[in-house]
């Protein structure tokens, strides 16, 4: 395509820039040095099991790794792939060799931090421990209903001897590099949601507080979650949204994920008043428990709470309590009003005016200012 008239020429890359870029490439390559290993299923699972009970385990699951998230049909399909002899993606681990260990040839003596592959390893462990009953298989349909113990002994041995390949980042790879690899592997995956990525990429005191409050029994009672949502860290997502909107909702724009990420980053690397945040969260829950018969849910028996309904009620309550700590609302009939239903529908949920309107609507109703 011809350039438009009077367009200034693009600056050319200089030799100095090329040299600097090459030096940067070589420097970064040093810290992603890796080795490859292959382990039989039986050995790999044994290393994992040892790690559940010993501090000096070989296979170590770091704090940024996700919980077991695969449903049993997906676990079954993974087992089916091994039985069929299909290629299995590499498991990524990082060598946590002690600094005084100079033997570069004996990787097995080091601790291996699992960067990516815990779902596969946990699935193998469940299967070999007869906790997984195969289901939903389409290729090997006659294996549906089987546990490992139901395999003939010869098939069990063949399964145990099947090998999985492993990429082992050497001890040159620091924690930042390992976390970067975790992000690159998982960013964009449909299975890893925003809160899981935040937990993996940005660990810190605020993330720890979110996890603590997300497990609060009263919170779980008032704001029910299905088990799959709990495994996907939806409770932590809700607690993050509470604090982010409570303290910054007037600066919200249309990009929810960026809004939450920026709030988390800011408070995860600066001093936070954990005691004050706990107190405000618990006071809000106490108020909701006392005056809202269904908690944050639309009705009793619901196992899922809409995010925007939770945001409106929780933040609106907390803002009202900031103005009047001994607040006793005259009525909460407005929960069934057409206005509240309109404000808490998914339509235009990312609209800044609507975010402000639904939060302040709850606050004003509680304070009797409407």
Question: On the CB side of 144, how many CA atoms lie within 13 Å of its CA?
Answer: 10
Which of these, 66, 223, 79, lies nearest to 144 by C-alpha position?
Answer: 79
Instruction: Give residue 59's pLDDT.
Output: 75
Which of these, 117, 112, 127, lies nearest to 160 by C-alpha position?
Answer: 127
Q: Would you tell me how many other CB atoms lie within 10 Å of the CB of residue 239?
A: 24
Instruction: Give residue 102's pLDDT.
Output: 46
Structure tokens, 52: 């559940």
Give dist(CA 344, CA 357) in Å, integer. Answer: 10
- The domains of the chain are located at 26-186, 194-367
Evaluate whether 146 touches 159 at the Cβ level (below 8 Å): no
Instruction: Give just the sign of the alpha carbon dihedral 365, 367, 368, 370.
Output: negative
C-alpha torsion angle, residues 199, 280, 302, 297 (rounded to 10): -130
Instruction: Give residue 138's pLDDT.
Output: 87
Whole-prediction pTM: 0.53
Instruction: Give residue 35's pLDDT.
Output: 76
Mean pLDDT in consecutive groups of 10 residues from the start of the chain, 370 residues: 62 88 75 77 88 58 67 93 88 66 44 80 94 93 95 95 85 65 58 62 79 94 88 89 92 82 80 89 96 88 84 95 92 89 72 88 88
Give dist(CA 309, CA 137) in Å, integer. Answer: 39
CA R_g for the chain: 26
Question: On the CB side of 65, how many CA atoms lie within 13 Å of its CA?
Answer: 19
Instruction: Give residue 223's pLDDT.
Output: 93
Evaluate whether 106 touches 171 at the Cβ level (below 8 Å): no
3-class SS at 135? coil
Determine which helix (DSSP H) or strand (DSSP E) holds 121, and give its type and residue range.
helix 118-128
Instruction: Give residue 253's pLDDT.
Output: 79
């Amino acid at each position: 395509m011809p350039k438009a008239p009077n367009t200034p020429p693009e600056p050319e890359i200089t030799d100095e820039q090329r040299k600097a870029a090459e030096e940067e490439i070589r420097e970064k390559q040093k810290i992603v040095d890796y080795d490859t290993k292959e382990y039989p299923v039986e050995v790999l699972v044994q290393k994992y099991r040892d790690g559940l009970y010993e501090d000096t385990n070989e296979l170590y699951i770091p704090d940024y790794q996700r919980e077991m998230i695969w449903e049993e049909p997906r676990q079954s399909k993974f087992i089916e792939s091994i039985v069929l002899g299909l290629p299995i993606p590499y498991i990524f681990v990082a060598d946590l060799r002690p600094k005084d260990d100079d033997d570069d040839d004996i990787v097995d003596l080091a601790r291996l931090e699992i960067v990516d592959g815990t779902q596969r390893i946990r699935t193998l462990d469940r299967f070999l421990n007869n906790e997984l009953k195969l289901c939903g298989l389409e290729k090997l349909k006659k294996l549906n209903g089987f546990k490992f113990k139901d395999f003939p002994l010869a098939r069990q041995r063949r399964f145990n001897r099947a090998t999985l390949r492993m990429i082992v980042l050497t001890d040159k790879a620091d924690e930042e590099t390992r976390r970067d690899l975790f992000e690159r592997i998982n960013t964009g995956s449909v299975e890893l949601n925003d809160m899981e990525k935040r937990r993996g990429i940005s660990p810190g005191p605020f993330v720890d507080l979110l996890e603590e409050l997300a497990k609060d029994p009263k919170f779980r009672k008032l704001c029910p979650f299905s088990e799959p949502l709990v495994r996907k860290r939806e409770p932590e997502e809700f607690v993050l949204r509470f604090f982010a909107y409570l303290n910054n909702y007037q600066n919200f724009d249309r990009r929810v994920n960026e809004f939450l990420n920026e709030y988390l980053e800011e408070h995860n690397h600066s001093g936070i008043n954990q005691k004050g945040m706990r107190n405000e969260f618990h006071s809000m829950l106490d108020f909701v428990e006392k005056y809202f018969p269904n908690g944050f849910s639309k009705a009793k028996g619901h196992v899922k709470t809409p995010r925007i309904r939770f945001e409106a009620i929780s933040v609106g309550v907390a803002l009202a309590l900031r103005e009047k700590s001994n607040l006793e609302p005259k009525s909460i009939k407005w929960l069934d009003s057409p206005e509240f239903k309109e404000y808490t529908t998914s339509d235009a949920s990312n609209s800044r005016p609507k975010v402000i309107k639904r939060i302040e609507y709850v606050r004003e109703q509680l304070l009797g200012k409407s």
